[in-house]
Amino acid sequence: MFAFVAVFLICFGLVQWIAAFGEIRGLSVVGFLYRAGIALGFVSFVSGVYLALAEPAPSLLLWLLPAFALASVVSMLGGIVTAWTTNPTRALMTPRPEDGYSAADVFIPAPEIGPHIEMPATWFAPAGRSAHGAVLLICGAGDGRLAFKWRLIRELLCAGLAVLTIDPPGHGDFRSAPMTRANALKAGRAALAWLRAQPGVARVAVCGISLGGCQALCLAAEDGQVSAVALLCTPVRLDVVTRRTYVREIAALLLPRNLGLLREGSALMLWREWRSLKRAWFGTSLYRLIEELDALAAARRLGRRPLLIVHGTRDAAVPASNACLIAKAAGDSASVILAPQATHVSLVLFPDEMRRLAKWLARVA
């Protein structure tokens, strides 16, 4: 029994050190208290080593895996307690004066879809700028306009860009029309028109996530005034999503860079964000919809306009080969960023890649 306690204390101390030095609040039982985290890790580690000196090595090795698993669970539970009120999406929607931007929910008329139809959206505008670029952000299948997007939207705002993020038809709060190719493009055109009518907007780019990337490509292909296109984990085609696909996605979340997502908050916070998503209303199957949007044909029609494709190397749902196919179709104007260890779900929260995407858009849009 003492062998297990010794190994547990050593593992717990190491996890708390990792949480403190890596600023991973979701693994810290003392929250953002940096020095307290280091001190707790030191006390736990030293205590564990002291107890381990009196135990045989084979007994210590026997308990290594269960002790490490328990130490990780205890740390994550501690992170849940200390980050109980953390909600990055709520913080994004309630900016402080020093944040330098405003946020407001808006409803955009979409008369092409139907009379009195309005599309829910959220408008983020940088403060104090008379002229700036703007980005239309389109979410993925089954997603919503705000969930998991705090990192990307903040980086775009920091780069001086305004952001209009929408619920496409059949998604989020836009339940009055199903998602079809025609409805998606009608909604996109309405969003672009609304954006261009806003004071200070000098140029408009589009950014799409997964299925939203297919929509972004089609919108840009038919609208020559779209200055640039950015895509995240966008499919050319979608293989049948099976239980094995989900298992591979979840397993990849245990990789180091994905565990770093706990810097944003606790595992419970991420789970709550996931549970907030509403089931999409598709007028046609997702597989057929992706074929109808035809990302490759749309990419060929972009001409010389800049295109950036960001994709995760551990994307189990849409393999990174899709990014290469789109880049090849678009030609020399396309650039590709492959994010190591990023999955289909986690890519949008990777700070380095989202910062590069935002700076690229600010430069070319």
39-69: pLDDT as tens digits: 999 999 999 999 999 888 888 899 999 999 9
Is the pLDDT confidence value at 3 over 80?
Answer: yes
The strand pair at 118-126 and 229-232 is best described as: unpaired
Domain identity same for 66 and 120: no
**What is the rounded CA–CA span in Å between residue 37 and residue 29?**
8
User: pLDDT-derived band of residue 268, with 50, 70 and 90 as boundaries?
Assistant: confident
Does one domain contain both 12 and 27?
Answer: yes
Q: Is 1's pLDDT higher than 80?
A: no
Q: pLDDT band at 235, cuts 50/70/90?
A: very high
Domain count, the chain: 2
User: Of 84, 109, 131, which closes a domain?
Assistant: 84
The percent of residues above 70 in pLDDT, for the chain, comes to 99
Compute the average pLDDT of residues 10-24.
91
Residues 26 and 146 in one domain: no
Q: What is the CATH number of the domain that holds 141?
A: 3.40.50.1820
223 and 185 belong to one structural domain: yes
Q: Are residues 109 and 58 in the same domain?
A: no
Distance, in Å, from the CA atom of 4 to the CA atom of 28, rounded to the nearest integer, reads 21
- Pair (130, 47) in one structural domain: no
pLDDT digits (tens, 9 = 90+) for 334-347: 999 999 999 999 99
Q: Which of 171-180, 226-235, 273-282, 318-327 has the lowest mean pLDDT?
A: 273-282
Question: 118 is in which domain, residue-wise?
Answer: 89-364
Q: What is the mean pLDDT of residues 252-257?
A: 87
Q: What is the pLDDT of residue 128?
A: 77
Q: What is the pLDDT of residue 22?
A: 84
Hey, what are 130's tokens?
A: 């008379």
**162 and 250 part of one domain:** yes
Contact between 215 and 138 (Cβ < 8 Å): yes
285-295 pLDDT per residue, tens: 999 999 999 99
Q: How much is the average pLDDT of 94-121?
A: 95
Is the domain of 61 the same as that of 130?
A: no
Nearest to 214 by CA among 301, 308, 292: 292
- Report DSSP state, residue 241: P
Rounded Cα distance, 1 and 6, in Å: 9
Q: What is the predicted pLDDT for the residue at 2? A: 82
Same domain for 77 and 171?
Answer: no
Do 56 and 108 share a domain, yes or no?
Answer: no
Last residue of a domain, one of 27, 55, 84: 84
| 110-148 pLDDT per residue, tens | 999 999 999 999 999 998 766 789 999 999 999 999 999
Q: What is the reported pTM?
A: 0.90
The whole-number average pLDDT for the span 305-310 is: 98
193 and 293 housed in the same domain: yes
pLDDT band at 358 (very low <50, low <70, confident <90, very high): very high
What confidence score (pLDDT) does residue 31 get? 83
Residue that is last in its domain, among 84, 114, 138: 84
Please tell me the predicted confidence (pLDDT) of residue 211.
98
C-alpha span between 361 and 206 (Å, rounded): 9
Q: Are residue 80 and residue 98 in the same domain, yes or no? A: no
Encode burial over 111-145: b for 16+ CB neighbours within 10 A, e otherwise: eebeeebebbbbbbbbeeeeebbbbbbbbbbbbbb
Mean pLDDT for the stretch of residues 74-98: 90
Share of the chain above pLDDT 90, in %: 77
Q: What average pLDDT is seen over the chain?
A: 93
| 162 pLDDT above the threshold of 90 | yes
* pLDDT given for residue 169 in this prediction: 97
